[in-house]
Structure 1
């Protein structure tokens, strides 16, 4: 089985295509795939988002506002994760489509509407999106990214659980790169699967306690 962790800018235009490619990858690889999207928040994703929405990079107030929106979108996703990976992925994709394809403005109403579309328990979601538990989960994900040396969105960490010696870190993730690496047995030990599993275990424990 392949474990795939795709680090994304939750408001980034290019990430939608990569996420959709990841969702379709099981048509080309026969092994079972378990995957998760991880929102990435740092100076690079903030600047990238400001450029996408044509915001002035010199405006400190707009930079702070962009950071706040990215933070809350990431918190929304963490809250959705408490109700399962599948629904959380659907939530993130639906929200990105609304913001990027339909030019909607992010606010609490849009977050709630998207939760309904993703079939979340809305009352629980609204409580969790501002909770200390979601903040801790978000912080751990950012620590995971930093620990693995991931600073750019659209980076994927791939672990082959059938051969635990191997893993792959893919910058600018695309489906073809992963398919070719898997078929040609080119997964290498750039990332320690044991280290990744150890760091991820704390996230699982947090979610299990919540559920």
Structure 2
């Protein structure tokens, strides 16, 4: 079985395309795949978001607003995940579509509508999105990224749970790159992310060059 962890900017169009590639892989790859989207929060993510939305990068108030919005979007996603991975991923994709593709404003009304359309328990969701548990899950994601040496979004870490030595890092992730890596046997030595996290040590990662 493959484990795929895609590090994303929840406010980025590029990562939305990557996430849809993951869903396509899940349907087409002839093996079981366990996947999750891991939101990445750092200065690069903030800078890229400002650039994507054509905002003034030198305006401190705008930078702080983008940071707060990105932070809350991630907490919302973690809160949705508490009600199941499938619902959480569905919530994230619907939210991204509303914000990125349709240009809607991020507000409580939109969040409530998307949570409802994702079959979430609204009372539980709105409580969880401000909870310490969501904040702890947020911090854990950032620690995982740091431990794995991931600083750029659209980066995938892939593990094959049948082997315990290596993981494969795929920068600039896309559908064809993973399919080719799987068919060529490059995923035959990739182990579980949970093993590395529990041992608090970085894994042996082989970086795949997409151009090869």
TM-score calculated relative to the size of structure 1: 0.90
The CA RMSD measured in Å over matched residues stands at 1.8
Partner of 2:93 in structure 1?
A: 93
The question of whether the paired residues in 2 share the 8 Å contact of 1:116 and 1:122 is answered with: yes
Supply the distance in 1 between the matched residues of 2:82 and 2:161 (Cα, whole angstroms).
24
Q: What per-residue deviation string (whole Å, max 9, x for no partner) do you get for residues 121-166 of structure 1?
A: 1110000000001001100100110110001111111001123333
Q: State the partner residue of 2:197.
A: 199
Distance in 2 (CA, whole Å) between partners of 1:68 and 1:131 is 16
Correspondence for 1:31: 31
User: Offset of 1:188 from its aligned partner?
Assistant: 7.1
**Aligned residue in 2 for 1:113:** 113
Contact 1:78 1:129 in 2 (8 A): yes
Distance in 2, Cα, partners of 1:154 & 1:110: 26
Which residue matches 1:207?
none
2-structure distance, mates of 1:113, 1:85:
19
Alignment partner, residue 186 of structure 1:
186
Contact preservation (8 Å) 1:167, 1:188: no
Residues in 1 aligned to 2:197 and 2:110: alpha-carbon distance in whole angstroms: 32
**What is aligned with 2:205?**
none
Is 1:19 aligned with 2:19? yes
- Match status 1:63 vs 2:41: no
Residue 176 of structure 2 is matched in structure 1 by: 176
Deviations 1:16-55 (A, max 9, x none): 1110110010343211011000111100010100111111
CA distance in structure 2 between the partners assigned to 1:26 and 1:108 by the alignment: 32
Q: CA deviation at 1:195?
A: 5.8
- Secondary structure of residue in 2 paired with 1:157: strand
Which sections of structure 2, spanning at least 5 residues, go unmatched? 201-212
- Kindly state the Cα deviation for residue 6 of structure 1 after the two structures are TM-superposed: 0.5
Shift of 1:175: 1.2
- Number of matched pairs: 200
Do the aligned partners of residues 183 and 147 (structure 1) sit closer, same or farther apart at CA in structure 2, a change above 3 Å counting? same
Task: Give how far 1:119 is off.
Answer: 0.7
Q: 1:8, 1:153 within 8 Å by CA — same for their partners in 2?
A: yes
> The residue matched to 1:136 in structure 2 has which SS?
helix
Once the two structures are superposed, what CA deviation does each residue of 1:88-123 show, in whole Å capped at 9, x if it has no partner? Answer: 100000000000111101112211111011111111
> TM-score normalized by structure 2?
0.89
| Residues 28 and 179 in structure 1, CA contact (< 8 A), matched pair in contact too | no
Could you say which residue in structure 2 is the equivalent of 1:122? 122
